[in-house]
Structure 1
Amino acid sequence: MHDDEPIVLEELTRDQVLDWRSRAAKDHQIVLDHITEHGELSARRLFTSTFVDQVHRLQGARHLVLGHAMWGQT
């Protein structure tokens, strides 16, 4: 299966699902790209809802800008 071919979740073997999940654990962009191409529901079915939620939380955390002040300088 090539990444540019449409994914039919029901046709994936157990090993293919595990491969997708393993790659997504190393690179969360795979989940975000899947959502863009196939939708949130498909991503939740392929990667699990819990994992998709974690990716969203981590992605949101990257957009936070946290300021800091040295102790005693506030």
Structure 2
Amino acid sequence: MVLEDLTREQVRDWRVRAMKDHQVVFDHIDTYGEPSARRLFSNQLVDQAQRLAGLGHLDLGYTTWGQAR
């Protein structure tokens, strides 16, 4: 992906998707590297995704209180 070839609308769409699903950020980093992700999504969004991942907020597995006993 060449960021300079994206239209404003495409950049906006990528950013909206990344705000809704941080996995989009991680997939971009895996494919194109963190510097590219920071250019496309913003430093703030990449930092937020990494911070939340470190706190386990992206872990979709869960146990209800009733199952935890």
The TM-score bracket by the shorter chain reads 0.7 to 0.9
- In the superposition, the TM-score normalised over structure 2's length comes to 0.80
- Rg (Cα) greater in structure: 1
Read off the aligned partner of 1:19 and give its amino acid letter: D
Which ranges in structure 1 are unaligned for 5 or more consecutive residues? 1-6, 64-74
Moved over 4 A (4+): none
Higher relative contact order (CA 8 A, sep 6+): 2
Aligned length: 57
Return the alpha-carbon distance in structure 2 between the equivalents of residues 49 and 24 of structure 1: 12
- CA RMSD, Structure 1 to Structure 2 (Å): 1.0
1:45 CA displacement: 0.1
Instruction: Please name the residue that 1:23 is paired with.
Output: 17
Return the alpha-carbon distance in structure 2 between the equivalents of residues 49 and 25 of structure 1: 13
